[in-house]
């Protein structure tokens, strides 16, 4: 599904309900995609493998990967 930013602003509840049903919504601005609204997954989202920040905000590396 695709909508303009203006329509999304005016009808946000409609698009949130669509996302709850499992739909993915692309929001456009000036005819170009600017955002995607998608359903929340039940699986945990892993940390990005290139994210160098530790939980305390200090970069942490160990053998090229993040440690916790």
Quote the pTM value: 0.60
Could you please report the per-residue DSSP string of 47-68? PPTT--B-TTSSB--BTTB---
CA 13/CA 47 separation, integer angstroms: 30
18-46: pLDDT as tens digits: 999 999 999 999 999 999 999 988 776 66
- Please give the residue that has the higher pLDDT: either 67 or 7: 7
Burial of 57 (0-12, 13-18, 19+ CB in 10 A): exposed
CB-based contact 34:27 (threshold 8 Å):
yes
6-22: pLDDT as tens digits: 999 999 999 999 999 99
């Amino acid at each position: 599904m695709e909508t303009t930013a203006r329509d999304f602003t005016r009808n946000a509840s409609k698009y949130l309900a669509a996302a709850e049903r499992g739909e993915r919504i692309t929001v456009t601005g000036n005819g170009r995609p600017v955002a995607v609204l998608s359903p929340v997954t039940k699986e945990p989202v892993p940390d990005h493998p290139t994210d160098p920040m530790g939980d305390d905000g200090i970069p942490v590396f160990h053998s090229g990967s993040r440690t916790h």
